Amino acid sequence: MKIRAFDILRLLLHFTLSSANLVLQYYEAIPVFENKMSILDPIDTKPADSLVRCAMFCGFGCKTFSFNHDAGLCLTYNTCHILNKTVTKIGWQLYNSLSYRLGEEECKRSSLGYEYTGKVSVTESNRTCQAWNSQTPHEHKNFTNLIKNYCRNPDGEPAPWCYTTDPNKRWEICNIPYCGLVEEECKRSKSGYDYTGKVSVTKSGKTCQAWNSQTPHSHNFTSLQENYCRTIDNEPAPWCYTMDPYKRLELCNIPYCVTCPLECVRKNDPKGKKYFGTINVTKTGIPCQRWDSQKPHTHRFDELAGHENYCRNPDEENGPWCYTTNDTQRFDLCPVPHC
């Protein structure tokens, strides 16, 4: 069966019974390149009689895989596929893998993370968590039945948290990433210009003020959606006005995405603001200038310094673009396909 490039394939719901606990395993594969093979070394090579079987081999720690139906071979990788690190190989397909076991991976599926049952035991400032059944250095009456010193959210805080072993810091939020399939609830850029999710609390737990409201803080950004955190007005990260009359605005804690980016522009992202793939030439074939370079063209997008010379759209152009290496042409759009 031929697979059309960039179709999202939901492959399998797989149930296993382990220690009397039913575990739901979900696999999703996203085609990235057709008739291409990575030149990077795979972490494993196995025979596979189907795409489903190959997806199952790509478990925790595996980010991408390659499958050749005719050869019956599956290659798994712990890195993302990069266009300039592939070669043409008829019959091979490269996929991004999104697979997880509910309740077992080190990620959360909601902004509050109330369902998180992983083993992270350090806070966002790298403080070690105090064991829940301990009263030292911080005494507490509740939550003594929670497991070891793992971050949890038993009381509706903005995210999983723990008491710390620092006598001067009673408790603190933990930095738990979102599970792979919640693409909207994470960011890929430092400033979060690409973030379009629904987090509506600040990093200190304050509720965000609705953008179309002028109470308690008056402002000019009334066209934004509900009270979701957004990156506007040259702030360094997504933020919002707060419902606290004494705190006008505050940054929000938006985690970085942990899955591999797509090599296409999604239908719900027509301008490609969420494109973080590896295409690095313009639509006329001119190589892109590196974002960490000011030659031949100077620019203000220092935050993209770690994105090599890949096409991006940080400023509302009609699609992903880049500065060119041609002295006479400052920038141009890139030939990024639609998903």
User: pLDDT tier at 48 (50, 70, 90 boundaries)?
Assistant: confident
pLDDT tens digits for 10-32? 444 343 333 333 334 444 556 66
Global pTM exceeds 0.85: no
User: CB within 8 A of 78, min separation 6: which ones?
Assistant: 43, 61, 62, 63
pLDDT tens digits for 197-228? 888 999 888 999 999 999 999 999 998 989 99
Length of the chain: 339
First to last CA, the chain: 19
Chain centre distance of CA 216: 32
Q: Please give the pLDDT value at position 60.
A: 60
| 310 and 303 Cβ atoms separated by less than 8 Å | no
| 184 and 272 Cβ atoms separated by less than 8 Å | no
Q: What is the dihedral of CA 29, 35, 41, 45, to 10 degrees?
A: 60
Q: Is the pLDDT of residue 5 over 90?
A: no
| 188 and 204 Cβ atoms separated by less than 8 Å | no
